[in-house]
Amino acid sequence: METSTITSIIDTIKKRRSVFPASYTNQVISKETLLEILETANYAPTHRLTEPWRFKVIGGEALGKLGDLLATWYKENASADKFSEVKYKKTAQKPRKSSHMIAICMQRDPQERVPEWEEVASVAMAVQNMWLTASALGVGAYWSSPKSIHSEACAKFLNLGEGETCLGFLYMGYHELPEIPARRNPMAEKIEWISS
């Protein structure tokens, strides 16, 4: 691989950030671009080739419907002392501010040949592939994992089948933000070298 290619891969990884709906422009992501992003998910590693990633692409009027569903669930399930009107309104607005949302779903292997955590890990790697591709194409994205993803209303909206679970939503939209610095503690603190 050419040095410039390696450099740009590393650069893409380091520059990917969570970009939230408040920063999205009105520009709609084309189906072609969405498919280009989704295609890269399919190259994630997967134990026993179970390929557990499933995605539901939500756009157009469905965004408002999903926003209302998530906000209503929040209103009905937040405890009285924790409920926030601001969060309620934001929950309804965020999908409407997005070009698209991708529901991140996991299809459990019917024969359960691998532990569930390995399937979750594979789906997360598939999401990272998409997130990096989106970022490289100038599309902002962030993974949201509200409690409502475990609700029956959400399962119905997403048409989840037997053994299929929703792990969150990838909110997506174009943005015009300058590069966002990463907030990370040094990697050296997280590495232990074992050599004897």
Ligand X SMILES: Cc1cc2nc3c(=O)[nH]c(=O)nc-3n(C[C@H](O)[C@H](O)[C@H](O)COP(=O)(O)O)c2cc1C
Question: Which class for 178: exposed (0-12), middle (13-18), buried (19 or more C-beta within 10 A)?
Answer: exposed
**What is the spatial order of strands in the sheet that 164-174 belongs to?**
53-58, 100-107, 164-174, 139-144
Report CA torsion sign: 123, 124, 125, 128: positive
Q: Across-strand partners of 103?
A: 56, 169
For ligand X, the binding residues in 153-172 under the rule CB under 6 A are 168
Interaction residues for ligand X, span 107-126 (CB under 6 A): none
> Does position 142 bind ligand X by CB under 6 A?
yes
Contact status: 98 vs ligand X (CB under 6 A): no
Q: Contacting ligand X (CB under 6 A), which of 15, 17, 87, 108?
A: 17
Question: Per rule CB under 6 A, is residue 86 in the interface with ligand X?
Answer: no
Question: Residue 18 interacts with ligand X (CB under 6 A)?
Answer: yes
Number of residues binding to ligand X, judged by CB under 6 A: 8
Q: How far is the CB of 111 from ligand X (least distance, A)?
A: 26
Segment near ligand X (CB under 6 A); pick from 31-39, 80-88, 136-144, 151-159: 136-144
Q: Give the range of 35-43, 74-82, 137-145, 158-166 binding ligand X by CB under 6 A.
A: 137-145
Give the binding range for ligand X (CB under 6 A) out of 27-35, 77-85, 143-151, 185-193.
143-151
